[in-house]
Chain A
Amino acid sequence: MTAHRNNQSSFSEISPSEFFYRNRDLAGFSNPAKALYTATRELVENSLDACESTEILPKISVRIRYREEERHEPDPRTYVLTVKDNGHGIEPRQAPNAFGRVFYGSKYRLRQARGMFGMGGTMAILYGQITTSKPVTITTSTDGREFHTFRLLIDIQNNKPIILSKSTKRGVGSSGTSVELLLHGDIFRASAKIRDYFRQTALVTPYAEITFIDPQGRLWYFPQTTATVPKVPRETKPHPHGFDFEAMRRLLKHTDESSFPKLLMNEFHRVGKQTARNFLRFAKFDLRTDPRTVSNEETVRLVEAMHRFDGFLPPDSNCLSPLGTEILKSGIVNELKPEFYSIAIRPPSAYSGYPFIVEVALAYGGKTIGEGVRLYRFANRIPLLYDEASDVAGMVVNDLLDRRAYNIPREAPLAVITHVCSTKIPYKSVGKEFLAERPELERELKNGLRETLRQLKSYLSRKGSIEAVLRRKNIYAKYLPLIAKFSQALSGAKSPPRYQQLIKDFEDERVITVEQIANAKKKSEGKIE
């Protein structure tokens, strides 16, 4: 880890701030509408991470305002974005760098988190500064008693914060951070997307309370509906299968370790003494080689061997934090209010040395879900709102949802929720909008979807058979008395035939059996009463 941080000096030819300033399209700031959405979302995700990393039930409030003097200007115009959380707060010494410097965040490690490298929040600030020339205001407290306020600008060329003012106030409240920045935006075009983002976020964070107030003063409130917070993901060392040449080169350049096996054991995930030796033999390196003396050519050979060697243990998924049944259930029941849902949590799997877990949920019927299939994609609890068609989950749903195979009517109201958590989400682009078609990922999504579809199929057929039996019984109850009446008249019999047992028997044999089966199955599946 130290290797990475020390190495930032080697970037100094062009600062990361400058790099992102020049390539802001890549990070989702391509136009005022998209920028407003991306800035909101990056700050909210930082806030959620700040709460979850210390298992605090998040309370997040977001506000987007016009500046009073621009109230009647047309879009795009300047907006004031405020995001406030009750997270762990930031030590005052670190706060300017945390927000005023690209690549300076608590996330530059291998661990499941919403963002990578803490880049998003700073990008939002950078964008605000570029478009309005105004500083950002950050207030943070780690103890709920001392509140530190900073006004910052970013020195883009030198990638460092310029502190315009700082002050400390004493008060009584909770720990947490509030960020207020001005930025060029277009609420008219961004509004629907931002609302979608909050709604979908609420679907997978039912343990959070989120409040959003838009420029017209309208309030969206997503209450906290469960006290279950996902466990804090653990930091983990990189797995050899996912390690690349550049990382290896830096590792070898900066390490103080002279024993090759020890270096491997210390720096890599699930590599023990025996595995390290077996690997070095496989890679045809002398066990006594001093790793600091390895040449660039040998490094290439080493990394290639690492990727080929199948003697490494698969990555451990203990570092991952899936949502789990309780959170998914709570989110689905409260946000989608379906008639039925099913959840499949797949066993951990891995691609290129990165562990991942796929969760698929399916919600059917009810008043909220419209006709047809609606796909909600999530990666490390972030809703993915763009480019569904290019996403591997979108493809899987399209390919696999052969409704006939599962006896699901064509226009059935259906919502599919996919969640992938990993130490590294295989995004296809920097914009974090869609996942690449990794075969391992595709397989797990498919299996998860199949599992939930099977549960839905069995629910529908149970529901159908109970309904059919009741329908039949009603028909018997309607016609048998008529047949009895007319046959009595025809035959000249004095009393009506005693046929009532027929209807009762039918009910006993069919309805009760079907209901018993249904009740027995109910526990394991998500029928909502």
Chain B
Amino acid sequence: MPTQRRRVKERSSNRKVELKAILQKLGKEVYDSLDSNRFPSIDFPSRSVKNIVYEPKSKQYILGSRKVTRSASNIKHIRPFTQLTWLAYFATELVGQEKTSTLRDVYYSSQAYDIEFDDQSQSDSIITDLETVIERAREELNIYPEERSAIFGDLDIEYTVRGYEGKRLNLSSHPDGYLIGPSLSTAEFVDTSAEMVIAVEKGGLFTRFVEEKVHSRFKAIIIDTAGQAPRATRYMLRRLHEELSLPVYVMTDGDVYGEHIAMVIISGSARAAHLRDLTVPSGKWIGIWASDIAKYNLPTIPMSEIDIKRVHDLKRDPRYQKGIWPRELDTFLKIKRKCELEAFSKFGLTTIVDKYLPEKLQIAKSL
């Protein structure tokens, strides 16, 4: 098992203290306005399409300089303003009591406080507002979506959630992997022998990697993104990279959607342009590239009209202007065919681990 283990920087608890201070400051501003007979108001960056801009330096979408003001004096704003104030309060309670909540829970919880949301999409949108105001992801407020993905590998974590405080676990103890849920997201990293993180798009390949002992053969932590990576997973990848200095590699299906799954992990999404801590700019997409289809003689499926339209859309995206990204898009357009990770099974179940993975990791070094 692990040969070399690393000490981990104490990071996440500091963030938690900071977060509490930010929320308290927000509350104080509103309180002080009311106490001095002024209608409180909050400024935050606009999330309208016009204000989402590409920042080449960080290679991600960020919000521009346009601000919106939400003021309690405005009849159209006062309800969402109240909802936002309540949510800040509710999140503070969640964090303080170390409880987690799903997006749907938030929607129902509001009713106990006489806060009305028309539907869950309205409460989801207020959650995004609060993220924008405090510049923290909802997961830090202990608010999670239903979707979950999995992690496996030699990583010791220490829970911080109530009832498990101080309890440690090695993430290679169970071969099906561990859900990247609230407890894991908030756990401290203690120790690891891993030297890299490999994120794969599909549960089937994740299981294959565990069976073929990729974690020990390549000293890797394996993550199943289950399609487009949820924000908790992206946040986890970011922490693994930042706190443990591990390089991140992404392996997806050989199609335009797979390429974009890798891109979102690396450069983030336009929808989360208000958040900064969800990307791994140094991450590498290692396949399946369009050019690998011919190179490895993989069985393919023809691309649909929609697939081709998606390629054209992405070609106009500023994130796709350099390196392998435009090159692979062009190749897809040229061959008009795509393939899945399982295509390697044509050459035997272990070929992808034995041959493809090491070759691509080698190439990745030069990317």
A residues at B contact (CB < 8 Å): 471-472, 475-476, 479-480, 482-484, 486-493, 497-499, 501-502, 505
Contacts and interface: CB of A to CB of B under 8 A. Distances in A.
Q: Which of B26, B79, B85 has the most CB of A within 10 A?
A: B85
B37 A505 contact: yes
B165 interface: no
B75 A501 contact: no
Nearest to A506: B73
A480 B27 contact: no
Interface in B3-46: 23-24, 26-28, 30-32, 34-35, 37-40
A490 B114 contact: no
Contact of A479 (B28, B32, B72, B89): B72
A484 B81 CA distance: 11
Contact of A487 (B78, B85, B113): B85
Given A483-B30, A490-B24, A493-B31, A501 B82 contact: no
Given A487-B85, A497-B34, 8 more contacts: A471-B75, A475-B75, A479-B81, A482-B86, A487-B31, A490-B30, A493-B31, A499-B37
B85 A499 contact: no
A498 B92 contact: no
B174 to A, nearest CB: 40
Of the listed residues A472, A486, A489, the one surrounded by the most CB atoms of chain B closer than 10 A to its CB is A486
A498 to B, nearest CB: 6
B84 to A, nearest CB: 9
A499 B35 contact: yes
A483 B27 contact: no
Interface of B: 23-24, 26-28, 30-32, 34-35, 37-40, 72, 75, 78-79, 81-82, 85-86, 88-89, 92, 113-115
Contacts of A476: 78
Contacts, number: 87
B242 to A, nearest CB: 29
A501 to B, nearest CB: 5
Nearest to B78: A479
Given A479-B78, A480-B72, A486 B86 contact: yes
Contacts of B37: 498-499, 501-502, 505
Contact of A502 (B28, B34, B79, B85): B34
Given A479-B79, A502-B39, A486 B72 contact: no
A497 B33 CA distance: 9
B75 A487 contact: no
Contacts of A471: 75
Contact of B31 (A472, A479, A497): A497
Contacts of A475: 75, 78-79
Given A489-B89, A490-B24, A479 B30 contact: no
A490 B23 contact: yes
Given A479-B78, A502-B39, A486 B27 contact: yes
B78 A490 contact: no
A486 B89 contact: yes
B81 A488 contact: no
B31 A488 contact: yes
Most buried by B among A489, A492, A505: A489
Contact of A480 (B31, B34, B89, B113): B34
Report which residue of A471, A483, A484, A501 has the largest number of chain B beta carbons within 10 angstroms of its beta carbon: A483
A442 B49 CA distance: 56
Contacts of A490: 23-24, 26-28, 30-31, 85, 88-89, 92
A490 B24 CA distance: 5
B78 A484 contact: no
Query: Looking at A471, A487, A488, which has the most chain B CB atoms within 10 Å of its CB?
Result: A487
